[in-house]
Amino acid sequence: MGCFSCFSSSQEKKAFKRIHSKSKETTGVVHPRETLLQQKQRPHSLFRPKPQHDLLSHSKSQSENIRKVPSEGTHQKASNKGDGQNNIAAQTFTFRELATATKNFRSECLIGEGGFGRVYKGHLNKTDKTVAVKQLDRNGLQGNREFLVEVLMLSLLHHTNLVNLIGYCADGDQRLLVYEYMPLGSLEDHLLDLEPGRVPLDWFSRMKIALHAAKGLEYLHHKANPPVIYRDMKSSNILLDNGYNAKLSDFGLAKVGPTGDNTHVSSRVMGTYGYCSPEYQQTGKLTIKSDVYSFGVVLLELITGKRAVDITRHGHRQNLVTWAEPIFKDTRRHIELADPLLEANFPKKSFSQAVAIASMCLQDDPVVRPLISDVVTALSTLPAPDITGLDSPFDSLTRAPPQMQMSTEDRITSTKECQQEVAEAIEWGSNSRTQNARSLASCGSSV
């Protein structure tokens, strides 16, 4: 079976080819049929673009092409196990269908708003499914190119920690995207500027969310082929379901990463101030390590409960990373980073390791920053909550973790110990990947 299950029919292949036919920047490649073993050995393939070019051109012809797809691929469905190996053809909707689903875009259905437009909660009667409908502002920040990028990216990329694109609407000048509904909203809603009386996220829920976000990036960086640079990692783009499982959303700024001998892709600087890496802001050179820096900012937000940029704070405190940098260097001050709302209810080892991971991700030199796969490994080794029946800190956290009180002298571990813990976790991850590669190679030679 081919690796592009959603392009299995010749009709679907033609539909996808028309989207790309006018673009001179990207060439869609459908891999020939492979054995099951070959598919497992090869990372999930997306497409192969020419280096240092955008995924799609910003031409009018492409917006016309995407409107031709519905006639040949309307309401296509396929199974998705969430492992990133299956592709789903996005459904197409008419504007009338989505207006009905959102009660004519009434304010009572509005669940979010930003520079891109508005997000509404809707209900699809045909499938009896609750969805989120993003209606792009025709004069907003997200233009036609970003709309096309998001449709194509999320139609081809599938993972448990990436939000699922159900479909889209391109009627006339209307541009709407239909996603799975995430009932708890964004991480920002539960972490930053909480209203008095609201229960803050506990430590283990925060680390669970961090791990899930890191796994989403790991899939984009190391399992998609070629790699994809997310370019918009921030707390408002991390969505949560009822179990506080996190998924990355909003792929309008995503960009195909460097291929071959290229070390970076050049791009106009886009993203959110406070989350962008320093080298990207200064030079426009984009790498997967740019995403690692942005993840470090989000992890620091989870640790501190503070926004990446807050103009209500004074001086250097306005920028979270600038404020935290001198604290990173002095382990005796690490406790100053802890969110006061946590009331020190966290294991000292887990806290120290999380601070060390954030510090490594926020290095000015991108070469020094870890790969996101190493970050996933390190976060996976954080101490688990002491709840009977739970195997890890990231399994079924529906019950509140026990309250843990620590003495002042126990709250801080030495720099050497902290670095050693992270180094051991990273080494373990590296050895694990090497062993897996050898195992696959031996399986291939025996076939």
118 and 205 Cβ atoms separated by less than 8 Å: no
Of the candidates 202, 232, 291, 339, the residue annotated as catalytic is 232
**What is the spatial distance between Cα 393 and Cα 385, in angstroms, rounded to a whole number?**
6
Biggest CA-to-CA distance, the chain: 68
DSSP 403: P
Identify the CA nearest to 149 among candidates 329, 23, 275: 23
CB atoms inside a 10 Å sphere around CB 362: 23
252 and 150 Cβ atoms separated by less than 8 Å: yes
Residues linked to residue 246 through DSSP beta bridges, in sequence order: 240
In the residue annotation, 173 being an active-site residue is answered as no
- The number of residues in the chain equals 447
CB atoms inside a 10 Å sphere around CB 363: 18
Three-state DSSP class for residue 427? helix
User: What CA dihedral angle connects 79, 84, 88 and 89, to 10 degrees?
Assistant: -170
| Both structure tokens of 135 | 């209606």
Identify the CA nearest to 306 among candidates 426, 430, 210, 188: 188
Q: Is 215 assigned to a binding site?
A: no
**What is the spatial distance between Cα 358 and Cα 340, in angstroms, rounded to a whole number?**
18
Q: How far is CA 194 from CA 187, 190, 201, 309, 322, in A?
A: 11, 7, 10, 16, 23
**What is the spatial distance between Cα 147 and Cα 116, in angstroms, rounded to a whole number?**
10
**What is the spatial distance between Cα 218 and Cα 230, in angstroms, rounded to a whole number?**
11
Long-range contacts of 390-396 (CB under 8 A, 24+ apart): 393/204, 393/207, 393/208, 393/350, 394/204, 394/207, 394/208, 394/211, 394/212, 396/243
- Show the CA angle centred on residue 184, arms to residues 104 and 178, nearest 5°: 40
**What is the spatial distance between Cα 292 and Cα 31, in angstroms, rounded to a whole number?**
30
**What is the spatial distance between Cα 157 and Cα 238, in angstroms, rounded to a whole number?**
17
User: Phi/psi of residue 265, each to 5°?
Assistant: -120, 145
User: Phi/psi of residue 107, each to 5°?
Assistant: -65, -30
Q: How far is CA 192 from CA 239, 312, 314, 341, in A?
A: 14, 13, 18, 11
Residues belonging to the binding site for ATP are: 134
Residues belonging to the binding site are: 134
Active site residues: 232
